[in-house]
Structure 1
């Protein structure tokens, strides 16, 4: 059983600011821990445990999961559940545990999408894997054009009404789909509280206006939805490991999967080097500045970071030590932070 640091919420130790999630009553840490990568069966459980308890010792209360996180799918939830009950079982009320469903998890017609059957059966399975009674936030992981939104959001409402989730959210919905979801939610009596999109210095799609003049950021701000941004480091691209233009053998780009080698383009490397120069002038690492920049927007409640080691986690968490930018720095960044073609979720959800 882990004994958490007594000063985990103090300004002198944890250093973690908390932000209100939209118009809800829930406050989240400015930086949260995501278990998308490095928490499946391939990673040592002892390392996973060290990262999770180190995060909690720094006041990180939100742990972000999904049914398909691993690999294999489901293993991140299983591992997190074991660590939770071995090391943090007496602190469940201090934790915000989230999960999602929408992408492929099982074979056959009921293993993906936005149907009531898939979402609710997935939530039940997630609760069993983590051995908990409820999650704090349950997300529709992606917009599903084959399922009516009334059905998808009706499933979220059932999850909240049944006590299996405390808050409901959506992930990677475009501005138009977010507005549509808000309208449907109002019709059925569901409160949507949060949107989880990808967002980073090199992936700024939530700022882009559609034909109606709406952006994800503006729609969320108007509706009072909190925004929890994932991939704020562009899956590790916004770190110093790629500054040379080479692909390290132990990097995510070398491993394939969701990170394409094409992301390490000459245009992106040029942008990274310029951004790194600005970070050095600020006295931060590139990763720290990237996180601070993402948190500059008032609509952003929290950013989700992954970690391979405790040291990497600690570096990222120290980004909150300097969240202020001068006007000159913002102008420099604006001239450099171009879209890097990194929104790999666009064709499956945010472009619909």
Structure 2
């Protein structure tokens, strides 16, 4: 079921000063600069969402200098609906601004029934992107990712599909997500030999999820590949949302698929201690968690997801202070270790 736009917003006039305050970082050794904060459309853009609110979030993002919008084939619910709604908003508000945007999508998780609607085969990846482009009303995306490793498909086949997609003009650049250090190095070599360099890696990374520090960040630095960290707030744990309990309107209370009550209770004492450090820095807990990632130049951009435009404006303020003293870093590590 499509979202009805009962209360249409006035015509969009983007902020003329949108590029004045957002810092941008070079994505690896490419010619692409990305904003230090990017917007993910994983939640709150499907057919169960408020279309007017979704438009407001995207408008706010662009007005704040966020030029990178990140999607995937199965974002919704239902699958495909986030791309479809983004396509509607793109046509309404951003059609004339297409060349100022970096739009990405992905494939790698289950999308349609049968053996060809999942994982990493060439058939699936190319078919999925064709469907994504149709849903969004685009001729091409700027970045197309393989969404997750597929141990059953030869890496050469998956990377060959990414190379073919670029050569067909359906994507300008390609990326991978959640690949470990070893497989990332292999993917980089294969794509380099094919003549389509790997632009970017999208790993899950936060103060509480540090797996990328076990070799992956070293590989992307050595190979000149960019990175975009997702789930920087650990699905909301690294915010002030749960400091006084679990609100009725929170993701934990309404939808326990991605964050469970036990996870919150297990970590809330640490978050309370971290929040005291954030206060001394003049930041919210969320801002400090994002800034903590951006302190590392290997992180090109941090991918945030929000339910309200106000949350996004708050998150963006993290770029105002990404420097940490040695004492702050030691205190943070001690809290997390304990």
What TM-score, normalized by structure 1, do the two folds share?
A: 0.91
Name 1:265's counterpart in structure 2. Answer: 265
Distance 1:229 1:239 in 2: 17
Residues 127-174 of structure 1: per-residue CA shift (max 9 Å, x gap)? 000001000000000010110011100000011111110111000001
> How many angstroms does 1:40 deviate by?
0.7
In structure 1, what is the equivalent of residue 177 of structure 2? 171
Residue 68 of structure 2 corresponds to residue 69 of structure 1: no
Q: Give, in angstroms, the shift of residue 62 of structure 1.
A: 0.0
Report if the CA contact (8 A) 1:228-1:301 is conserved. yes
Distance between the aligned counterparts of 1:172 and 1:258, measured in 2? 17
Please identify, of 18-27 and 255-264, the stretch whose mean Cα deviation from structure 2 is larger. Answer: 255-264
Aligned match of 1:294: 293
Take 2:188 and 2:213, find their aligned partners in 1: how far apart are those partners?
A: 19
Determine helix, strand or coil for the equivalent of 1:88: helix
Q: Are the equivalent residues in 2 in contact too, given 1:271–1:338 (CA < 8 A)?
A: no
Q: Is the 8 A contact 2:198 2:225 kept in 1?
A: yes
1:259-311 Cα offsets, whole Å, 9 max, x none, are 23332133x11210111000001011000000000111110000000111111
Unmatched segments (≥5 aa) in structure 2:
1-10
Give the equivalent residue in structure 2 for 1:278.
277
Q: Is the 8 A contact 1:103 1:113 kept in 2?
A: yes
1:138 is paired with a residue whose SS is strand
What residue number does 2:310 align with? 311
Give the structure 1 partner of residue 5 of structure 2: none
In the alignment, the residues of structure 1 paired with residue 166 and residue 151 of structure 2 have an alpha-carbon distance, to the nearest angstrom, of 23
Residue 83 in structure 1 maps to residue 89 in structure 2: yes
1:43 equivalent in alignment to 2:53: no
* Partner Cα distance (1:29, 1:258) in 2: 26
Which position in structure 2 is the counterpart of 1:102? Answer: 108
Distance, in Å, in 2 between the alignment partners of 1:259 and 1:117 is 33
Q: Does the alignment pair 1:138 with 2:137? A: no
2:13 is the counterpart of 1:3: yes
Cα offset for 1:189? 2.5
The RMSD of aligned alpha carbons is 1.1
Q: Within 5 A, what are the aligned runs for 1:1-352?
A: 1-10=11-20, 15-208=21-214, 215-244=215-244, 246-254=245-253, 255-266=255-266, 268-338=267-337
| Separation in 2, partners of 1:258, 1:73 | 16
Distance 2:260 2:188 in 1: 33
**Between 56-65 and 173-182, the greater mean CA deviation after superposition:** 173-182
How far apart, CA to CA, are the structure 1 residues paired with 2:269 and 2:325?
22
Where 1:136 maps in the other structure, the secondary structure is strand
Classify the secondary structure of the residue corresponding to 1:194. Answer: strand
Looking at structure 1, the residues matched to 212 and 265 of structure 2 have their Cα atoms a distance apart, in angstroms, of 22
Distance in 1 between residues matched to 2:250 and 2:19, nearest whole Å: 33
Between the aligned partners of 2:188 and 2:262, the Cα distance in structure 1 is 36
| Displacement of 1:338 | 4.3
Cα distance per residue 1:170-226 (max 9 Å; x no partner): 000011111121222233332111000010111111012xxxxxx111011111110
Name the CA distance, whole Å, in 1 between partners of 2:337 and 2:194: 40
Whole-angstrom CA distance in 1 between matches of 2:224 and 2:183: 16
Alignment partners' CA distance in 2, 1:257 and 1:107? 22
Would the aligned equivalents of 2:237 and 2:268 in 1 still touch at CA under 8 Å? no
Query: Conserved in 2, the CA contact under 8 Å of 1:201 and 1:338?
Result: no
Q: Secondary structure at the match of 2:219?
A: helix
